[in-house]
Structure 1
């Protein structure tokens, strides 16, 4: 890398040490001692630039400079290099005559040699002589013999010889190198690519001064990443950058501009009169990240030793990184100089080599896309690559593979396989894209052109698209295939039937001659992935309620899955199994992990479904704002029509979150969205109808709410999904009955729910006890509500906790314990602050809202409640609440028994209680209780 300075000299970057070494040898020549320097560098690193700059310095110092350049075109011209160094009409013409004399002596004695050498030495001693030969590897043999003759006599001859050679397969002949390097006055200098700082310095010398330092730093990082610090390529990038900047300033923003200069530079370093280097470099360019020395050797039809030498050359030039070309940009620029037919043949051969070598299907497919191969394996490879690319988020590449596979399909089975792959990938992008292809797949299924796994997939997604009659026909066709002689079809039927049981129960119930899926399995292995058991686990939770076995199985499934590696419906089933088993804490862990594995993807069916599950989990945690965010993300990840019947789940989450937040207008707007009619025959429809019922309750339509809840109950019982941890329709209907003035019916429903599988889990039981209290005598309510509050605190559901605290506050007022009621309201305010439920708090505690700031912290006057307690009084009552005697409290706090009694008397008065029993009841479920436990 150089730049011409104001005095005509070049400014070299990061070459000070090498230049100093050359100047040092030149100084020894001035003292009558000769020396040899071999400059060695990879292609494009700048050995010629360094030699030229040094020869200029040597001439300025008074030395006589003799220069020559080797060329493969003149390698057979005898004495070609010597003729350039010592022209016949020049002052050192004796050099050419000496070279010829040396050549004659090889065939016999020649007395002229010594005389000519003495004559040449007398001319050398007039002033120091510097002989520079660039690309010395192309020197003709007689010239090399002459140079060796000089090297052997440099101890007493004031001559400096500088030779340049490339690193790689075409360096100086080994015999010549061995002879030269054993001379004590010889040294080798190896040039390295520029560092990032060197690239930045180079850019600073060339770019406009108007460009800021930050821009230079950015360009340096980008240029170094592409070029590896190769000066030739850095200079080309600079040229293209300036050209792009002149054409359009915006074009210079972003990745480095690569144009004509970069393409020419790539050819210049790769060819360099060295066909081996060019062929091997093209092999690396074609194979890209799949390149290995063995594969490159096969593709370039060169020996392993030649490939190794080229790799050394490319590595020292900064062009390799980990055994492959540092930048695909370099490879593309290089291949532009290969004719179309040769390039296509290289691609086809590369595809075959990679396939035999067991390379990933995507790597083989990239070669096939550049040069198609009419081989049976090509179609299968393209389909496999399309599937893998889709899972990796490479949508366009996946579709390109499918288009080529479709053009190459020749049989009905191959065509059906391509269409099936296109539908699978299109479904992952957005299910609305697959509708035009489903009819064709149904026809292929009827003709027997589809595998059983594909047939099961079609059943699921016809149901998803609200095409139940066609789904039933496909299910019938799959059922006909199943049997002892078709274990694969039986296994797929088993999996799809379990999926239908918890997704679209009517389809499963109407299936003809359906085998008993609950019967023990035979010893025949299942031909499906372990993740497919998730549907069975979810079905077991929905049928039997929570259980340690199902929880363990769901976690085991999720532990063995990663985003993109398992079907998203299996991931959804495992997550919902945890959620409906009343383990939202584990469900949120695994769901967040999967979403994190999705990276920055914000669209696609998998992201949409997982975001919908995450919204449902957030609702169970009472995180209303988070539920709204996740549900909105789910709806925006794919189109509304793409959601099909499953749209009921994210809409239910939005409606329920808005209703609980007190935003009934927003909830009503979501309910006004058009939904598929078939949605109401699915699990998603149950969730939607249940959420709509709570909206009716919120807007004072208890009769409509009751109708929705009872409809949910009828379907849940009919479909075998009647567990409170999934759909607590009984407690919801009980709320509607209470609003209608039917406490007896409400009480019956609550008791039924408590007896159901899953009815004793903390959340379900906590809600049931709250409603049971509403139907009980006044004297029974405080104890029921106290237990309800305790259970819901353990369940980590702040929304339901706020409702129980509100009922408890009201009951405490009714039984004449206003101080306890105020403490309960204060605790509720803390809960509302933690979950953002201020609107709900204001609605539930409107009678407890303080009228001024002073009341916001407790009571007024002498009786100010817990807020007016002193620190000493708090410590005393905390220990008293734990059952310690006055004497024990005094010993713990280092105060007298009398002082303890005084603190307790004042605290009782402030809190409005009469004894320690009342104090324990008052502290239950409050922040003071936590303080008591800490002490």
Structure 2
């Protein structure tokens, strides 16, 4: 009896007063399931133990017609107080009825005086009329009798008649006790003896949130939890309201013989969060006052949160026990009521799915509900609405509306879902059943799924209908612009026909939209390079767009304008803000495309770990078939990131996956070829890399996308040419890139200068590489910066500046830690750069043998070969003895020798180059 001490105290005091000859009445009321019966039973046990005589009865709805049914339970014919039954029958509950009534009353009083008596009636509201009259007869005579009458009744609709309550409450020693649900602390105390101490606080919070402190429901929750623990650590314990005991408890309070309570409770269960007194009254055909009384009872029991059940599980348990026909009728009536009240389509659709209604508005309600559900992330519910909507599509217009909704919603969830409808979609466009944005979207869907011929046919049909006037038909203009920068071959294959406007005719106005602006700006950026106006427009679009309300192609185009316009920092800001709205585990086409864009932005900043993570996120957001020809973008980002960050076998595995053939006719295919070329470079296949880069460049030129800020294929091809020993071709490509629109941007210029340095003489390399490093630091591309730092470090070694070379190498290590390009660092440097090392160990592509030695290593080697000790070498070269030892260790490894004697023999038999001989002489001269 948790949190019932005060009530027990009141009852105990009332019994004490009765023992002193001051009879009284206690009326206990509560909402369903709060525990008035449990309180009464506990008190009666206590009273019996104290020596009081207890006479108890229970009212029941099935026995309300049995005369003196309750009195018979209180005063059985074989009991010591049988005079009470005779008195009741003699008086009929009325004063002065029969002459023998006084004799029976005196007989009953003698029995009362033998010790205190407790007369208890549970659920007194179900007592028969005769029994109620007799109870009131006794109440009127309790002033001097040692009798305590305890009655319980529910709060709400089915209570004692007002006249009975009034007479009871007029009694000077009548007390009313109202029981309330348990507090959170009370719930903790209730369950503490039955659960591990460490789990009690968490479970108490969960149980209170579901039950509202209702003891009956709490008992069900606790029973389910304990049953689950017996079967293992998981199960119902993690879902506190899914067990059988809880469902039974939910039923127990509703089936109390009160039809009003049950009907109204079912009404609340059906309507859920949309429940309200007026709506429930209409649904269950009960009066508003009756509904209000039931709401009071449910609220006092802790079952309501506002005007709805605190837990949906309570309503579900009730409805599962209602027969199918009644439940279906309730849902159908709820659907009509909500639709008539202008409720949200999703709220109406919930009831249509439970019990379909043949009404003219059902189709459009289901379609609207499906679209809203997908935007809210309730994909399964949206698909269920679409399936049911097919039942209502009777006319051609209805079927066209259903088709477009299926395609639009399927696309938002996963483009793979619209595959079964693509044939029907193309036919609908050609036959004129679809127009405007729906028809234009069909072209895009067909192209996305590598069905270019069908997309071209649809585009031709649409162009013919509009007479080629895309300015007057914005949907066609947007899709053609999208094709221009996504599937340029398809766009070029469909000629724009029509009659040109007559000379002097004013141009027709075109409705502007974010989609129109975004695709126009992306097309301009891909053809002309970074343009300030395009970047500003993209920022304006992104500031005014919302993730849930804007088509993802608009967001993608605006973000790519910023990325290709050399503003990856702003693209990163807006993309992260958009993805934040998608949640921690984003799914769906919009989240997939935005994640792929985020991966590409990360690559442009040299953040390879982020690029890899977002590329994986993009590929997981929708199915692989759903990506269609666009799969090239996330795969390209993943391949490039994996190539830089670690072992190249991960990138190779990505490239071994099947991709649509049509992908290579799209912008996504260019990114894929570019990434594959860099993979070939990393695994020492420069010829294959050069082929990929040249094909990529040829297509970019053909499609009007030859801008270095989008795809710097020339400098990548130049790197392949350098690996093949073709320095002059590499230099030509680098100079061409510098001359292209956007080639002078910091990132593009920094890479071009590094290539030019590799083809220049030693005296010019340092200056070129110094500028390259500065430019790449300013734009924040860590990967390209790492390449330039490695090249600069090597040049500084060759120029005899080991301290500066060491600083560049250490800077490279810091950059590597920032961007996670460990694999690239290991390829550029033979081993990690340590803070206590005199200089880096050299580059990975240095030739073996004496020629692979750095300047510092050559100086140490020359002195060691002449027989000088490590201490002598350190003193002559002004370096530490430890540094000498480290140099010699690396020299031994590079030259394949084991000691100084082998070193002297090797160098004596090697025909050193003039540079090595001069270096030896210089070292000897420096040694004195």
User: Same fold judged by TM-score > 0.5?
Assistant: yes
Flag the 1:524–1:95 CA change in 2: closer, same or farther, 3 A.
farther
Q: What CA deviation, in whole Å up to 9, does each residue of 1:604-655 have, x standing for no partner? A: 4344323322221221121223323332343344444332211221222233
1:461 counterpart (426, 432, 445): 445
Task: Give 1:164 deviation, angstroms.
Answer: 0.6
Structure 1 stretch 478-487 or stretch 492-501: which is displaced more?
Answer: 478-487
CA distance in 1, matches of 2:831, 2:131: 108
Tell me which residue corresponds to 2:888: none
Pick which of 252-261 and 564-573 moved more. 252-261
Per the alignment, residue 632 of structure 2 pairs with 648
1:251 and 1:257 in contact (8 A); partners too: no
Q: Secondary structure at the match of 2:286?
A: coil
* SS of 2:422 mapped into structure 1: helix
* CA distance in structure 2 between the partners assigned to 1:440 and 1:370 by the alignment: 29
**Residues 1:638 and 1:54: Cα distance change in structure 2 (over 3 Å):** same
Q: Does residue 541 of structure 1 match 2:530?
A: no
What CA deviation, in whole Å up to 9, does each residue of 1:380-434 have, x standing for no partner?
2222222333333433323222221113321233233333433444444443443
Between stretches 344-353 and 732-741, larger displacement belongs to: 732-741
The aligned counterpart of 1:384 is: 368
Q: How many angstroms apart in 1 are the aligned matches of 2:142 and 2:678?
A: 101
CA positional deviation for 1:323? 2.4
1:887-926 map, 5 Å: none
Instruction: Give the equivalent residue in structure 1 for 2:738.
Output: 754
Tell me the residue number matched to 2:495: 512
Which residue among 373, 387, 390 is the counterpart of 1:406? 390
Is 2:502 aligned against 1:502?
A: no
Q: Does 1:44 align with 2:7?
A: no
Once the two structures are TM-superposed, the CA of residue 469 in structure 1 deviates from its matched residue by 0.7
- What secondary structure is seen at the aligned counterpart in 2 of 1:17? helix
Q: How far apart, CA to CA, are the structure 2 residues paired with 1:741 and 1:88?
A: 119
Q: Relative to 1, partners in 2 of residues 1:184 and 1:765: Cα closer, same or farther, differing over 3 Å?
A: farther
| Matched positions, count | 847
Give distance in 2, aligned partners of 1:257 and 1:463.
48
- Contact 1:531/1:557, CA 8 A, preserved across alignment: no
User: Which piece of structure 1 moves more, 163-172 or 631-640?
Assistant: 631-640
Tell me if 1:331 matches 2:315.
yes
Q: Which of 341, 347, 372 in structure 1 is aligned with 2:331? A: 347
Residues in 2 aligned to 1:521 and 1:329: alpha-carbon distance in whole angstroms? 62
Which residue in the other structure is 1:4 paired with? none
SS at match of 2:585: coil
1:891 matched residue in structure 2:
none
Distance 1:856 1:284, change over 3 A: same
CA distance in 2 between counterparts of 1:241 and 1:824 reads 63
Residue 157 (structure 1) shift: 3.6
* Structure 1 residue 349, shift from structure 2 partner: 0.8
Q: 1:155 to 1:545 in 2, by over 3 A?
A: farther
Asked if the contact 2:602/2:611 (under 8 Å) is kept, the reply is yes
- C-alpha distance 44-730 of structure 1, shift in aligned 2 (>3 A): same
1:160 aligns with 2:148: yes
Deviations 1:892-913 (A, max 9, x none): xxxxxxxxxxxxxxxxxxxxxx
What SS does structure 2 have at the residue aligned with 1:376? coil
- Whether the 8 Å CA contact 1:29–1:35 is kept in 2: the answer is yes
Question: Are the equivalent residues in 1 in contact too, given 2:470–2:477 (CA < 8 A)?
Answer: no
CA contact under 8 A between 1:601 and 1:607: conserved in structure 2?
A: no
Q: Kindly report which structure 2 residues correspond to 1:844-883, keeping only aligned pairs within 5 A, or say none.
A: 844-846=828-830, 853=837, 863=878
| Distance change in 2, residues 1:88/1:334 (3 Å) | same
Quote the Cα distance in structure 2 between the aligned partners of 1:799 and 1:151.
93
Secondary structure at 2:34 match in 1:
coil
Structure 1 contact 280–307 (Cα < 8 Å) conserved? yes
Change (3 A) 1:257 1:42: closer
Asked if 1:719 corresponds to 2:707, the answer is no
1:282-335 residue CA offsets vs partner (Å, 9 max, x unmatched) = 001111232222221211112222222211211222222332223333222212
Structure 1's 639 and 341: CA in aligned 2 closer, same or farther, altered over 3 A?
closer
Instruction: Give the gaps of 5 or more residues in structure 2.
Output: 842-854, 857-873, 884-928
Cα deviation digits, residues 349-406 of structure 1 (max 9, x gap): 1111222233332222221111111122112222222233333343332322222111
- Match of residue 14 from structure 2: 25
Pick the aligned partner of 1:683 from 667, 682, 686.
667
Secondary structure of residue in 1 paired with 2:26: strand
Q: Post-superposition shift, 1:38?
A: 1.4
Q: CA deviation digits over 1:150-188, x for unaligned, max 9?
A: 545544443322111101111223343344335442222
Q: For the residues of structure 2 that align with 1:673 and 1:59, how far apart are their CA atoms?
A: 82
2:127 maps to 1:131: no
Counterpart Cα distance in 2 of 1:520 and 1:599 = 48
The answer to whether the aligner puts 1:475 opposite 2:459 as a matched pair is yes
Relative distance call for 1:640 and 1:219 in structure 2 (3 A) is same
Structure 1 stretch displaced more, 566-575 or 773-782: 773-782
CA shift for structure 1 position 561: 4.3
One of 732, 747, 754 as aligned partner of 2:716: 732
Q: Compared with structure 1, are the counterparts of its residues 53 and 667 closer, same or farther at alpha carbon in structure 2 (3 Å cutoff)?
A: closer
Q: Quote the residue 2:351 is aligned against.
A: 367
Bigger drift between 697-706 and 366-375 goes to 697-706
1:771 paired with 2:755, answer: yes
CA distance in 1 between counterparts of 2:184 and 2:835 reads 67
How far 1:593 moved relative to its partner?
3.5
User: Hey, what's the Cα distance between the residues in 1 that align with 2:434 and 2:498?
Assistant: 22
Counterpart for residue 181 of structure 2: 193
Matches of 2:824 and 2:231, distance apart in 1: 61
Measured in 2, the distance between the counterparts of 1:835 and 1:520 equals 55
| CA pair 483-335 structure 1, distance change in 2 beyond 3 A | farther
Contact 1:531 / 1:561 at 8 angstroms: preserved in 2? no
Between the aligned partners of 1:486 and 1:829, the Cα distance in structure 2 is 54
Residue 579 of structure 1 deviates from its aligned partner by 1.5
- Does residue 582 (structure 1) correspond to residue 566 (structure 2)? The answer is yes
Whether the 8 Å CA contact 1:241–1:258 is kept in 2: the answer is no
Can you give the 5+ residue segments of structure 1 that lack an aligned partner in the other structure? 1-11, 869-935
- 2:32–2:253 Cα contact (<8 Å) kept: yes
Is 2:41 the counterpart of 1:66? no
CA–CA distance in 1 between the matches of 2:534 and 2:91?
93
The aligned residue for residue 867 of structure 2 is none
CA distances 1:189-228 after superposition (whole Å, capped 9, x unpaired): 22223455655665566x6xxx755577776566555444
Tell me the residue number matched to 2:819: 835
- Partner SS, residue 473 of structure 2: helix
Structure-2 change in CA distance of 1:300 and 1:523 (3 Å) = farther
Which of 614-623 and 478-487 deviates more? 478-487
8 Å contact 2:806–2:839 — kept in the other structure? no
Quote the residue 2:911 is aligned against. none
Post-superposition CA distance 1:767-816 (Å, at most 9, x none):
23333444556555444332321221121111111222233334434555
Q: How far did residue 684 of structure 1 move?
A: 0.7
* Corresponding residue for residue 893 of structure 2: none
1:851–1:454 CA distance, 2 compared to 1 (3 A): closer
Q: Distance in 2 between matches of 1:212 and 1:848?
A: 52
Residue 22 of structure 1, CA deviation: 0.9
Partner of 2:303: 319
Task: Call closer, same or farther: CA 1:101–1:662 in 2, change over 3 Å.
Answer: closer
Residues 119, 542 of structure 1: CA spacing in aligned structure 2 closer, same or farther, 3 A cutoff? same
Match of 1:3 in 2: none
- The 5 Å alignment of 1:576-725 reads 576-601=560-585, 604-661=588-645, 663-725=647-709
Q: CA 1:416 to 1:78, structure 2 compared with 1: closer, same or farther past 3 Å?
A: same
Matched residue SS, 2:32: coil
Change in Cα spacing, 1:848 to 1:813, as seen in structure 2 (3 Å) is farther
Alpha-carbon separation, structure 1, partners of 2:698 and 2:742: 18
SS at match of 1:130: strand
Instruction: Spell out, residue by residue over 1:35-75, the C-alpha distance to the aligned partner (whole angstroms, 9 max, x if none).
Output: 22211111122211221221222223222333333333444
Pick closer, same or farther for the CA change 1:659–1:38 going to 2, 3 Å.
same
User: What is aligned with 1:790?
Assistant: 774
